[in-house]
Amino acid sequence: VWCACIRRDDWSTCRVDAPADEMQDKMFFRLLDLVHLMGGDLELLLPPVEDILTAPELAELVSDPRFHFIIKYGYECVDATRNDIIETS
């Protein structure tokens, strides 16, 4: 499901100078937000970033540095949000 969401979007025009804006436009991150809002455990449901970056079905995207940057940035945002939740608990 995650790879299918990634493949749905055009990553060739990603602007690395505005990664937060890019994340809002991508189905992958919208699905991630939906899972989070519905109370899903992202640690359990979201595959590790390494799995995304090495998935055979994403082979054509893996060589694109913009794709790498936006995906890694998104995962860092998820980790930061998770850490904020843990600290406030």
Give tens-digit pLDDT for 40-63.
998 899 999 999 999 999 999 988
Q: Per-residue pLDDT for 82 more than 80? A: no
Condensed to tens digits (0 to 9), the pLDDT of residues 26-39 reads 999 999 999 989 99
Task: Give the pLDDT confidence score for residue 83 in this predicted structure.
Answer: 59
Number of Cβ atoms within 10 Å of the Cβ of 38: 7
The position carrying tokens 């749905």 is: 8
**Element (DSSP H or E) covering residue 25:** helix 19-25
- Other beta carbons less than 10 A from residue 58's beta carbon: 19
Q: Identify the residue with better confidence: 23 or 89.
A: 23
Q: Flag whether pLDDT at 85 surpasses 60.
A: no
Residue 65 has pLDDT above 60, yes or no: yes
